Amino acid sequence: MEFEDCNNEHITKQLSKTEKYLWKKSKMCDCGTSLGEASFKNDKTERVQKSEIDKLKKKGWTETKITRYLADKKKSEDKVAQQNDAILNSKSNELDNYVNFIQEVIKNTDTEIFGLLLHWYSKGTESENIKLTDRKIIQSKTLTVLDLKTLEENKLLCVTK
């Protein structure tokens, strides 16, 4: 695994002077990464149900049709929840590699903190306006695959000695 400097001023403004923002070197996009896979959210399931019902009523849907639709939607959401549970319980070589790499960096270098940020870019890596939502601090020796599977977008995971 290799990293190189990424000069995104939006991120560097949110980091301390001793922190660096690096980009994982790769020949292709990391779109299929296992990082954060258990935190992926289905936007449709997060819509406010009341506004959705109001829209359906405006379209002329009957109460019976809306009730049936909501029941089908609930079944679909339950299926997604089961899939997320399966993801949480499955093993991933990619994530094992990340855990091992981070622990080795912390153990064998002068690095005090290794930060990991998940972000789905829609613009360039150096121009995207990324706002860190939070920081989660965890010790290297307690870092697990589950920590990486549940990584949330724009929440900086800080792994310490």
State which of 40-44, 79-83, 130-134 shows the largest mean pLDDT. Answer: 130-134
Binned at pLDDT 50, 70 and 90, residue 104 comes out as very high
Pair (105, 28) in one structural domain: yes
For residue 152, is pLDDT > 80?
A: yes
Total domains in the chain come to 2
For residue 133, is pLDDT > 90?
A: yes
Average pLDDT over the chain reads 83
Pair (29, 106) in one structural domain: yes
Q: What is the mean pLDDT of residues 111-128?
A: 86
Pair (108, 147) in one structural domain: yes
Binned at pLDDT 50, 70 and 90, residue 43 comes out as very low
Which sign does the torsion angle of CA 60, 61, 62, 63 carry?
A: negative
Phi, psi dihedrals of residue 99, rounded to the nearest 5°:
-60, -50
Pair (100, 30) in one structural domain: yes
Pair (112, 151) in one structural domain: yes
Pair (101, 156) in one structural domain: yes
Question: Which residues constitute the domain of residue 139?
Answer: 3-34+95-160
Pair (100, 84) in one structural domain: no
Please state, in angstroms and as integers, the Cα–Cα distance from residue 64 to each residue in 45, 49, 58, 76, following that order: 20, 16, 15, 18
DSSP 142: G
- Structural domain ending residue among the three candidates 89, 108, 124: 89
**Burial state string for 106-134 with b = 16 or more CB within 10 A and e = fewer than 16:** beeeebebbbbbbbeeeeeeeeeebebee
Phi-psi domain of 154 (left: phi exceeds 0; alpha: psi -120 through 50; beta: other): left
How far out from the chain centre does Cα 160 lie? 20
For residue 127, is pLDDT > 70?
A: yes
Pair (99, 151) in one structural domain: yes
